[in-house]
Amino acid sequence: MAEIQRQSPVRFKATPLKTEVRENWIVALEYDEEGQGPWLVDLAHKSRWDLQDSKIGEQTPCDLTVPAAPGECTFSDNTLINRMNRTQASIYHLGGAAPAMPDFSGYTDVSENTVFLALFGPRAFLIAEKLSNLDFIDPAKKAPFLLQGPFCHVPCQIIVLEKGSDRSGGFLLTCSRGYGDSIIHAVMQAGSEFDLRPAGENRFNTFLDGLDQ
């Protein structure tokens, strides 16, 4: 029986220069003329888990601590844990292959159900400010931190990974899969004046390597 090809919910108009097949995903590694930033990267192939439990603070996914308060994040070894509310957290595996999901009923793999994008580089938050009223550069919050609310009028989870000067930095965004085409259209249109370009996983990995974990 032929293996099922896994499909990202988003499509860029640009064609990747280099790709790699990984766990039935076609992963874009690099695009031609990625420019000097900002960049938008499709990370649909990265594993994402949802964790729900009445005693979620006692859970240790990937041997990491679930943050104590909603909006806080734990980031280590390319694994990001985001406390959403009293009983729920999201877990993103940003590195290579994700570990096996724990044998515990509170975990759900949501990778196939959601859009997963990274927007980063110079002027990244100028683009975000055109699409949401959320405060991506709140001086009272230290990155990484979680925001939950509308982006392009769509309910989203947003994790600010870095806050730089002059509205530079980067964030991750995830929302329901059905909004994929609409999100890409809105973000690329908003970013056109700042020369926003699609980029591949290699560019994201360079950004990730520069973050404190």
Cα(205)–Cα(200) distance, rounded to whole angstroms?
9
Mean pLDDT score, 3-31: 92
Q: Is residue 211 pLDDT above 50, yes or no?
A: yes
Q: ω before 122 within 30° of 0 (cis)?
A: no
| Residues in the chain, total | 213
What domains are defined for the chain? 1-213 (3.30.1360.120)
For the four alpha carbons of 203, 138, 56 and 59, in that order, the dihedral sign comes to positive
Cα(75)–Cα(145) distance, rounded to whole angstroms?
10
Confidence of residue 1 (pLDDT cuts 50, 70, 90): very low
Convert the pLDDT of each residue in 83-115 to its tens digit.
Answer: 999 999 999 999 988 889 888 899 999 999 999
Convert the pLDDT of each residue in 183-199 to its tens digit.
Answer: 999 999 999 999 999 99
Convert the pLDDT of each residue in 29-55 to its tens digit.
Answer: 999 999 999 999 999 999 999 999 999
Q: Is residue 154 pLDDT above 70, yes or no?
A: yes
